Amino acid sequence: MTEDDEDRADALFHALADRTRRDIMRRVLAGEHSVSALAARYDMSFAAVQKHVAVLEKAGLLTKRRNGREQLASGDVAAVRSVGSMLTELEQVWRGRIARIDELIATDNALES
């Protein structure tokens, strides 16, 4: 890893180490949200939520654009993909389901024997 990569990893890990910021990421990955709509969901000041959004933006995990007086935030999927391959993650969902079917079937076999 180069120094830049290390700095970027630090920024990503720091950004994702906070519960509120992970929650914001889940929301903005599903669709664009205004910062004020995001702020309405948390028991903290608008300014505090803005600071969380700024940390995520600095780490490159979300992008902001202006629409009139609103600031709209959306998750940068490419950036998230750099944390781990997105397709591999989706495949993990399937693998998880299949592993759970295996476990369910193994439970029957244990009951029979």
Residues in the site for other proteins, rule: CB under 8 A? 13, 16-17, 22-23, 25-26, 29-30, 75, 77, 80-81, 83-84, 86-87, 89-102, 104-105, 108-109
Report the nearest approach of other proteins to the CB of residue 52 (Å). 15
Closest approach of other proteins to the CB of residue 54, in Å? 19
Measured in residues, the chain has a length of: 113
The nearest distance, CB 94 to other proteins, in angstroms, is 5
Q: Which is nearer to other proteins, 69 or 92 (CB)?
A: 92
CA separation (Å) from 78 to 24, 37, 38, 83, 84? Answer: 17, 24, 22, 9, 10
